[in-house]
């Protein structure tokens, strides 16, 4: 009786199967490499695109504020902030604001200073320690827009409190649809314009001057 397979045929069959296995291994590695390259390109592109943020600008009166400038650079020539710009130019609080990774600033308008009596205004502006403390009290770490403030106030059902760069908490509440800042003595400042961008966060414009407890 003749054997079903000759020895030579068996070796040929084994070699064929072996070569077929090698072929599929190369094919698998080639496909895997292709997907790795494609995935790597996608991740790199996304990383690049996510850091290439478009400039955001917003106009108030004669001034245009932009996300490409620091807070000081935005207000230094703005007619509504001549007093605050001078404070930041000559004081240490500018450097502290710009050193923050993200910061929300409640920007004191000239109107807020001019609403004070001349004697009170001169007393505050003539004391670098007090005015720089006030500026830091008007700054909150992180990016906080008006929508976030209103949402948190609605959740809490009243006044919320934000930790400031000065170290004390700043109250925020909503009255007749307007956001108000509240200090420990219940003095208030109303946000009269909101959601302006600067290089490392937001700023909102206020019409009054309030103080941390340490400077009452």
Residue 215 CB contacts under 8 Å (≥ 6 apart), including other chains:
130, 133, 134, 137
> What integer pLDDT is reported at residue 90 of this predicted model?
85
Name which of 36-45, 92-101, 106-115, 166-175 the model is least confident about: 36-45
Q: Is the pLDDT of residue 140 over 60?
A: yes
Would you say 202 and 195 are in contact if contact means Cβ atoms under 8 Å apart? yes
Higher pLDDT, 42 or 13: 13
Q: Are residues 202 and 133 in the same domain?
A: yes
> What integer pLDDT is reported at residue 215 of this predicted model?
67
CATH code at position 173: 2.30.180.10
Name which of 35-39, 53-57, 118-122 the model is least confident about: 35-39
Q: Are residues 26 and 100 in the same domain?
A: no
Q: Are residues 29 and 90 in the same domain?
A: no
Q: Are residues 108 and 150 in the same domain?
A: yes
Count of structural domains within the chain: 2
**Model confidence at 54, in pLDDT bands (50, 70, 90)?**
confident
Q: Are residues 24 and 69 in the same domain?
A: no
Closest C-alpha among 216, 215, 210, 198 to residue 108: 210
Among 28, 52, 76, the domain-final residue is 52
> What integer pLDDT is reported at residue 48 of this predicted model?
28
> What integer pLDDT is reported at residue 47 of this predicted model?
28
**Model confidence at 196, in pLDDT bands (50, 70, 90)?**
very high
Average pLDDT over residues 60-80: 95
> How many angstroms separate the CA atoms of 79 and 193, rounded?
15
Q: Are residues 46 and 68 in the same domain?
A: no
Longest dimension (CA), the chain: 125
Domain, as residue range, for 184? 57-215
Q: Are residues 13 and 107 in the same domain?
A: no
> What integer pLDDT is reported at residue 46 of this predicted model?
27
Would you say 135 and 128 are in contact if contact means Cβ atoms under 8 Å apart? no
Q: Are residues 33 and 71 in the same domain?
A: no
Average pLDDT over residues 52-73: 90
């Amino acid at each position: 009786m003749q054997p079903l397979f000759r020895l030579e045929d068996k070796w040929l069959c084994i070699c064929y199967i072996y070569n077929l296995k090698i072929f599929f291994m190369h094919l698998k590695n080639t496909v895997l490499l292709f997907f790795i390259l494609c995935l790597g390109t996608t991740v790199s592109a996304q990383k690049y695109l996510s850091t290439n943020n478009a400039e955001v600008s917003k106009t108030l009166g004669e001034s245009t504020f932009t996300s490409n400038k620091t807070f000081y650079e935005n207000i230094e020539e703005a007619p509504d902030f001549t007093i605050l710009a001078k404070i930041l130019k000559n004081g240490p609080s500018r450097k502290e604001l710009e050193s923050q990774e993200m910061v929300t600033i409640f920007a004191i308008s000239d109107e807020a200073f001019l609403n004070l009596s001349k004697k009170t205004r001169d007393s505050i502006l003539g004391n670098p320690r007090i005015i720089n403390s006030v500026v830091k009290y008007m700054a909150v770490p992180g990016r906080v827009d008006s929508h976030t403030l209103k949402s948190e106030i609605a959740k809490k059902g009243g006044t919320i409190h934000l930790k400031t760069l000065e170290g004390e908490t700043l109250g925020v509440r909503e009255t007749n649809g307007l956001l108000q800042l509240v200090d420990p003595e219940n003095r208030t400042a109303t946000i009269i314009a909101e959601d302006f961008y600067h290089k490392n966060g937001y700023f909102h414009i206020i019409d009054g001057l309030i103080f941390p407890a340490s400077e009452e």
